[in-house]
Structure 1
C-alpha cells in the first residue's frame, strides 16, 4: 500500500478515500490518527474551487494521456497542455497524474544478444568531424534492433534523419540480412529527399557493409560513416528511438504474428512518432513539425 508522510488532514482524508474499499475507513483512520467523524465531514463537504479546478484539469490531462495511448509522462502532457493554451505548473500535472494512476509506459532498453560476430571492415566515423547538424538531409542514421515475437526473433531496420529525428524508412523481417537494410533504405529514398552528399551513419554490421548496400549508397550519392569499434554510443540517436518504440509500443503488447507487428509499427511511426509525438530534443515538437519549421 502507498504511504503518507507528513501532510495535513485533507491529504490524509484523501488517502483514506482512495483506499477505503481495500482496507476500510476505520482501519485507515486509526492508522493515520484521524477521526472517522472528521473523515465523513470532509467527504460530505462541498468541493473547493481548487478541487473543482483540479477536476477540470484532470479531464484535459486524461484526454491527452489517452490520445498518446499511455505513452506520455507528465513532461509531455504538460507541454501538450501549454500548446492548448492551458498554462499550469508542471508539478501540478505530475501530482494529478500520480494520484490518478496515469503512469506512462516505460522500459529499459533491451540489450542486443551476446555472441553475434560483427564483420570488422575499414571505415571511419565521419560524424566526429561533422559536428552538429544545421538542416535536414545532412546526416541520416540507421540501425537494426531485435524484437521477440512468440518464440522467434524478428529484426527491425530503421533509418532516421538525425536533425529532425524523423524515421524515413524501416523494414521488418524474421531474417537479419542485407535485404532487410536495403528495404529500409529503399523506403527512405522513395520519399524523394535530397541525398547527394548525405552522410549515413551505421554500425559495422554486415547488413550495412555488404557490397549490395554500399552500391545502393553510391548510386544515391550517400557517404557511409560507421561506429568506431567498441563505441556503440556513436549511434545514440537511433538507440533512443528504439528505447521509445519498445517502451511505448512493444512492451506489454501481444502480437499474433509478424504482419500484426508490422501494422502496429507502421501505425506507431507514421501516425504517432513522426507526426504528433512531442520530442524533448526538438523543443517539444514532433519530427514533422520540426521539419516544417526548419524549411
Structure 2
C-alpha cells in the first residue's frame, strides 16, 4: 500500500526528485521493495529513532488528529471498503479544505500553490 501511495504522489506531482519521506520503522517502510521505489523516484528516506514519538512529533500529531476526527464516536465500519472511503474523505478534506494554523490558516493545497516557485523558462534563442 505504501508503494501505491508513492506512485500516486508521482502521478499527482510529476517528479518527486529531492523529496524526503520521513517515516517510522514499520515493516512497510523498511522493506527492500519500498527502498528501491524511493530510490527510483529520487526520494530520500528518513526514519525516526525507534520508539521515539518525540522524534516523529508531526506524524504523531497527524495520526492523533486522524483518529480523533474519524474514529471518535463512530460506529464500527461494516467492511474494509467503508473504512478506506472514510479515510480517503478525511484525507481529502484535510489537504484541500481544513485550515492549518502552521500554514497561515490555509489548507495545504492552497499553501503549496502560493509558495511553489514558478517553473523556470528559457528565453527564446535569438
2:82 alignment partner in structure 1: 260
The count of corresponding residues between Structure 1 and Structure 2 is 115
Q: Please give the alpha-carbon distance, in whole angstroms, between the structure 2 residues aligned to 1:276 and 1:193.
A: 23
1:276 alignment partner in structure 2: 97
Q: Please give the alpha-carbon distance, in whole angstroms, between the structure 1 residues aligned to 2:15 and 2:79.
A: 36
Normalized per residue, the structure richer in helix is 2
Alpha-carbon offset, residue 187 of structure 1: 2.0
Query: After superposition, where does 1:57-206 map in structure 2 within 5 Å?
Result: 180-206=1-27
Match of 2:39 among 207, 215, 218: 218
Match of 1:232 among 45, 48, 53: 53
SS of the counterpart of 1:224? strand
Structure 2: state its 5+ residue gaps. 117-126
Q: Please give the alpha-carbon distance, in whole angstroms, between the structure 2 residues aligned to 1:208 and 1:189.
A: 17
SS of the counterpart of 2:13? coil
- Structure index of larger Rg: 1
- The alignment's TM-score, normalised by the length of structure 1, stands at 0.37
SS of the counterpart of 2:49? coil
Match of 1:248 among 69, 90, 99: 69
Question: What per-residue deviation string (whole Å, max 9, x for no partner) do you get for residues 167-190 of structure 1?
Answer: xxxxxxxxxxxxx32222222222
- Compared CA separation, residues 260 and 198, structure 1 to 2 (3 A): same
Alpha-carbon offset, residue 260 of structure 1: 0.8
- The alignment's TM-score, normalised by the length of structure 2, stands at 0.81
